[in-house]
Structure 1
Amino acid sequence: MRKPIWAATALAFALASLAVVSPARAQTTPPPIPVNTIFVGPAVGTAGQTADIVVWVGKQKVPFNAAQFTLRFTPISPTGLKSVPTAIEANTKPGGIFPPDSIFGVNARTPGVVMVAMATGHAVDGPGQLAVVQVSIPSDVPDKASYAVELRDLILSSEAGEDVTPSNVLDGQLDIQGGAPPLLKGDVNGDGAIRVNDAQIALRIAVNIITPTPQQAQAADVNGDGKVNVQDVILILKAALGI
């Protein structure tokens, strides 16, 4: 549905107000969200740390008692980014518009995907936080990487069990600041140097003794053929010895 000019302007101010919030905590004061709008607030995180993703709800014309949605984290940049954030179920909570006695459930078994559902005996209508989803950002994500946080499969249900349909449902974005250092080919353990122990790890990867992390696999694939084998081990060993 095309948004009227006033709604687009109000939402722009809302997003701008959220963008300046410290990534260490979620904003609790509702921004000026247009009526019948639900969106994912912008977030900033650091590789190897956690970040809070807030789903905001504007005042709904029809109150609701239950909500369900899915968040999908899709890499935007850099090209080839495969590591995705994983939601921490224990630290994902219902938003402030839901009372403490609400029923709440989270499924974060699939990396990059989290399903959330909540219900209460008291009808709510916003505005405020629908939910706060805490995610763990992989340690190998580079600086200035970004993810689209897609809000999908949204269901709002009224006290009568009927669907409540918001006018606007908008995705968010997670930006990474202070990511992993640039990859050094041959530095399999990530200590910033190429030594004999890197060759040892690469050999264990090559013979399937250990399963590498994505960053280890990239660092160990010195010749760039897409796999880790004895040839890579020899190249790492030669680099470690300065040959």
Structure 2
Amino acid sequence: MDEGRELLILKSSRRVFLTCIIFLFSFSLLLDEVHSAELAVLKGDVDGNGAVTANDALMVTKYLKGKITLTPEQIILADMNNDGIIDNADVVSILSIHVGTQTEKKRQKCQRI
């Protein structure tokens, strides 16, 4: 192989390597944004409107009565005490957050997913 061709292959290889590095870095930033968005989900916000409201408690009540179905994500958000069971205790907890009677310590515990 002549020197010119080897130099061209080397430069081309460097470009491919740098392109791969830039792509991986960009992908890493994208994953960080997705992860941050996942962390922004509010426990108890079953309807996904960004706030814990009486409507969230109503949705859970309807779910318990078999009138509606919830997605797997909504079920996780509705399980306020993280016991794996959706029940009236979760409804009460959602309503407590809505009216502001739940203590800050308990609210922080419930918001962890």
TM-score calculated relative to the size of structure 1: 0.29
* Residue type of the alignment partner of 1:194: V
* Residue type of the alignment partner of 2:100: G
Distance verdict in 2 for CA 1:217–1:15, change over 3 Å: farther
Task: Tell me which of 6, 17, 20 is aligned to 2:23.
Answer: 20
Give, in whole Å, the separation in 2 of the partners of 1:177 and 1:186: 22
Task: Tell me which of 230, 235, 242 is aligned to 2:88.
Answer: 230
- After TM superposition, the structure 1 = structure 2 runs for residues 138-153 of structure 1, keeping only pairs within 5 Å, are 144=31
DSSP-derived class of the 2:51 partner: coil
Q: Which residue of 2 aligns with 1:190?
A: 48
| Superimposed CA distance per residue, residues 193-235 of structure 1 (whole angstroms, 9 cap, x where no aligned partner) | 1110110111122233222122211110001111211111111
- Structure 1 consecutive aligned stretches of length 4 or more whose deviation exceeds 4 Å: 13-16
Cα distance, 1:15 vs structure 2: 9.1
Query: Does 1:204 pair with 2:62?
Result: yes
Aligned residues: 82
* Residue type of the alignment partner of 2:23: V
Cα distance, 1:185 vs structure 2: 1.5
Give, in whole Å, the separation in 1 of the partners of 2:42 and 2:84: 16
DSSP-derived class of the 1:204 partner: helix
Give, in whole Å, the separation in 2 of the partners of 1:215 and 1:15: 39
Q: Name the one with the larger strand percent.
A: 1
DSSP-derived class of the 1:20 partner: helix
* Residue type of the alignment partner of 1:219: L
TM-score calculated relative to the size of structure 2: 0.56
Give, in whole Å, the separation in 1 of the partners of 2:42 and 2:20: 38
* Residue type of the alignment partner of 2:71: T
DSSP-derived class of the 1:201 partner: helix
Which consecutive unaligned segments of at least 5 residues does structure 1 have? 1-9, 24-43, 45-142, 145-175
Tell me the C-alpha RMSD between the 2 structures.
3.0
Q: Which residue of 1 aligns with 2:110?
A: none
Which consecutive unaligned segments of at least 5 residues does structure 2 have? 1-12, 102-113
